[in-house]
Structure 1
Amino acid sequence: MRVLYLTEEAISFSDALVRGGAIHVRNVVTGLRDRGHDVFLLDWNTEPERPFQRSVSPRSRFVEGPLRTVVRAVQVGKRESVDVIVSKTRKTYLPGLIAARRLGVPHVVHVGSSLDPPTDGLSRRLDLASFTARLRAPHDGYFVVCDHIGSQLRTRGVAADRIFNVQNAVNIDRFHPETVPTPLSDRFRDRIDQDGGGFRLGFVGGLQPYKGLDDLATALDQADADLHLLVAGDGPERSRLERTYGAAATFLGSVPYEQIPALYHEFDALVLPSHTEGLPRVVLEAQATATPVVATRVGGVPEVVRDGQTGLLCEARDPAGLAAALDRLAADDAERARLGREGRAAVEGEFSWTELYERYERFLEQVIALDDRR
């Protein structure tokens, strides 16, 4: 296949990446190329690094960036005789569709976010409206990361035969229960060593209201176990949350992605108390390191955390239920070990990058075949 892959992110093939979306793009592009496909990447980048990287460098992310993407996508698509265009990020959804129609090839959008995010505030409501409008356009395929998002698309009128669950993936060699590829730097190591002990919970992610960290703070107060939270991530809620948690949590700030595998080895359990999610990569990363997971039953989480088998689930916005699950883990070493083993086994069998490449390859071939029959 000859694939043109669009993203508004700048993709580096030599430097460490932090954002999960950028890591996904880089891995999919290189993975499909390694499998013998001609994949060309059109990203928004001032310093492209590879011959197959056909970047644009817009001065504005609004209007000008999408317009330049359309023009460049048509140019590259014609020159390289591409079979399909895949748009990974929202600002490339419509440019990718327009270019695909000009070229007479099918267009696929990758949907990694839930369609029911928090809508408090005008800006969030406008963002959701824009996202939904872009998805209503007549795309030929929708690559989703979980069945939950697929179901949301079907309720919005997208035909079932256009929806393909590619899932998410994790590097099961870097995230491993027995090895640490890159140790934590001294500044993180020193902060962790000063956390005061107790059962060590970990949270990895952006500090946003929908992540449910206020619920977790209440749960820590209600729990019987001696719990301490390590928070890896940053965001607009950090200062307020530091005041809320006080001595009950250590806020590490943003941890470089290459050190994240080592961080999971510091946790007795990962906790994800979110109000909404797609298919969170942090859950897969924790499971790959055999770190037991406690999470809320939202989005695609139940598709990777089977309650009592590969982790523990509780309802969102339920601090009492969350506290009970945390107490259960803290009190039972054998249960933690079992959940960790089962989580690792589940990830190895279904969520490796090799499995994702095979799904991508198979589903792209189906989209192209469907387009040929229409």
Structure 2
Amino acid sequence: MRILHILDHGLPLHSGYTFRTRAILKAQMARGWEVAAVTSPRHGKFDTDEETIDGIRFYRTPRVNSGPPVIGELREVAAFAKRIEAVARQWRPDVLHAHSPVLGAMAAQRVANRLGLPLIYEIRAFWEDAAVGNGTGTEGSWKYRATRWLETRAVRKADAVAVICEGLKGDLVARGGIDAGKIMISPNGVDLGLFGEPLPHDTALARELGIEGAETIGFIGSFYDYEGLDGLIEAMPALVALRPKMHLVLVGGGPCDAALMAQAAASPVADRIHFVGRVPHQQVERYYSVIDVLVYPRKHMRLTDLVTPLKPLEAMAQRRLVAASDVGGHRELIRDGDTGTLFKPDDPAALADSVAKLFGAREGWDSRRERGRAFVETERSWAINVGRYDSVYQRLAKIGAMEDSWSHTSVVSA
């Protein structure tokens, strides 16, 4: 089985997108499938047109001269499709696997039509809702509606569709004209080979951060508005009043850095809030080891109701306790009172009360940690998750074989 993945960007860049991609491709390779990837013009600078990183073969697409809205995106799609087609003619995949955003699906669909190849389109989040969550778009705007229309069109045209959670699937089916039977769930997962057994408590790091002997909560991830970190900082005075030894550790960065730091500096408990900044991915486990409870206070909006995050799974894999806002994406991952704690979203007082009660019930921590880890091992490990693609790929490969894709196409150099 040969699968050519169509990506917005990839390694060596670091993002949640690239880490999920790496996990999928490495798990597929472990099953004996042959995989390669083509990255879009949005990947940015690269050293060579073709390179192998972490054992994965990447083909690069040069940047495209920017243009006004719509024209610039169409240029990207045309250049991306040209590169995908050249690689496909050389490498001869059985299946094209495009990953969101929708520009990649549009480019891949052109190639699928030209070469008679089957296409699966995988959606990790709706581009239009992600723009709203990131503060770069407005719900209901012309751009929002146009992007939603393109997404729906891409789903209808693809031979199969994968989404990361039930929320996205339900939304697509509700749009009408989309067969629920062609949509599979490929949930977020953890590569336990890369992100496996947790480290022991790093006493030196705790001392360095000024949290030695403290009760600690924390967040490790990207600082976007929809993550609700302003609410977490707002909850800290009440939380310190309830738990006098409480400290908050924030690891990561993003568009909200400056605003969050200013808010924390003005807090009456500013000395209890520690900003670490971004850390190398290979160092992240050290920070998990010094945080008692990872808190995910996502705000209530379409994006957070429809999309499941990855970070709570990583925390559970590290045998850390998790507390999160009661939004749809979290409810697909966390069973309240069993594998984690859910609290009312957009309510700092509710956050403080729930987290304080969790610290007051330490007798149940060990068993909850083990249940969280077991959930990841049995339901969210990539070694298991990747098997969900098997039947879909087999069905699509048969379509390609019946259409005899390569009998009428010449091989050209990429």
Report if TM-score (shorter chain) is over 0.5: yes
How far apart in 1 are the matches of 2:94 and 2:255?
42
Given that residues 204 and 232 in structure 1 are in contact (C-alpha distance below 8 angstroms), is that contact kept between their aligned partners in structure 2? Answer: yes
Q: Residue 177 of structure 1: CA displacement? A: 5.0
Considering only CA atoms, is the larger Rg found in Structure 1 or Structure 2? 2
Shift of residue 347 of structure 1? 0.5
Percentage identity across aligned positions?
25
In the alignment, which of 61, 85, 91 is matched to residue 80 of structure 1? 91
- 1:306 CA drift (Å): 0.6
Distance 1:7 1:239, change over 3 A: same
Match status 1:267 vs 2:323: no
Given the alignment of the two structures, is residue 5 of structure 1 paired with residue 5 of structure 2, yes or no? yes
- Range moving further from structure 2, 356-365 or 142-151: 356-365
Match of 1:162 among 182, 195, 211: 182
Aligned residues: CA RMSD: 2.8
1:292–1:337 contact (8 Å) kept in structure 2: no
CA shift, 1:269, in A, is 0.4
User: Which 5+ residue runs of structure 2 have no aligned equivalent?
Assistant: 41-45, 67-71, 265-269, 404-414
Give the corresponding residue for 1:18: 14
Instruction: Specify the alignment match of 2:51 in structure 1.
Output: 49
Aligned match of 2:119: 107
In structure 1, the residue matched to 2:348 is: 319
Q: Is the Cα–Cα contact under 8 Å of residues 116 and 400 in structure 2 kept in the other structure?
A: no
SS in 2 for 1:323: helix
Mapped to 2, the partners of 1:200 and 1:70 lie a distance apart of 49
CA distance in 2, matches of 1:117, 1:92: 16
Per-residue deviation, 1:285: 0.6
Q: Classify the secondary structure of the residue corresponding to 2:387.
A: helix
Distance 1:184 1:359 in 2: 37
Separation in 1, partners of 2:208, 2:150: 44
* SS, match of residue 151 in structure 1: helix
Deviation at 1:257, TM superposition (A): 0.9
Q: How far apart, in 2, do the equivalents of 1:105 and 1:118 lie? A: 31
Aligned to 2:335, the other structure's residue is in SS state: coil
Q: 2:258 aligns to what?
A: 239
Letter in 2 for 1:49: E
Change (3 A) 1:197 1:251: farther
Asked whether the equivalents of residues 198 and 319 of structure 2 are also in contact (C-alpha less than 8 Å), the reply is no
1:202 correspondence with 2:218: yes
- Equivalent residue for 2:277, pick from 248, 253, 259: 253
**Distance in 1 (alpha carbons) for counterparts of 2:356 and 2:197:** 23
Q: 1:185 to 1:372 in 2, by over 3 A?
A: farther
Superposition pairs of residues 337-348 of structure 1, within 5 angstroms: 337-348=366-377
- Show the 5 A alignment for 1:1-374: 1-12=1-12, 18-44=14-40, 45-47=46-48, 48-50=50-52, 52-60=57-65, 62-63=72-73, 64-90=75-101, 91-113=103-125, 116-117=129-130, 119=132, 123-125=137-139, 128-129=144-145, 131-137=147-153, 138-157=157-176, 158-179=178-199, 191-192=208-209, 194-195=210-211, 198-223=214-239, 224-226=242-244, 227-245=246-264, 246-275=270-299, 276-277=303-304, 278-368=307-397
C-alpha distance in 2, partners of 1:369/1:274?
42
2:332 match: secondary structure: helix
Give the counterpart letter for 2:258 in structure 1: S
Question: Which digits, 9 at most, give the CA deviation of each residue in 1:250-276, with x for residues without a partner?
Answer: 011111111112211111000000024
Give the C-alpha shift of residue 82 in structure 1. 2.3
Pick closer, same or farther for the CA change 1:290–1:153 going to 2, 3 Å.
same
Distance 1:46 1:57 in 2: 11
One-letter identity of the residue aligned with 2:32: G
How far has the Cα of 1:301 moved from its partner? Answer: 1.6
Q: Which runs of 5+ in 1 are unaligned?
A: none
- How many Å separate the matches in 2 of 1:130 and 1:257? 36
Relative distance call for 1:306 and 1:92 in structure 2 (3 A) is same
Say if 2:121 and 2:158, in contact at 8 Å, map to a contact too. Answer: yes
Q: Is the 8 A contact 1:184 1:259 kept in 2?
A: no
Are the aligned partners of 1:199 and 1:228 in contact in 2 as well (CA < 8 Å)?
Answer: yes
How many residues matched? Answer: 366
Kindly state the Cα deviation for residue 166 of structure 1 after the two structures are TM-superposed: 0.9
Q: Is the contact between residue 206 and residue 290 of structure 2 (CA under 8 Å) also seen in structure 1?
A: no
Kept after mapping to 2: 8 A contact 1:233/1:253? yes
Shift of 1:100: 1.1
Tell whether the 8 Å contact from 2:198 to 2:285 is kept in structure 1 after alignment.
no
Comparing 338-347 with 33-42, which one deviates more in the overlay? Answer: 33-42
- The 1-side partners of 2:84 and 2:202 are apart by 41
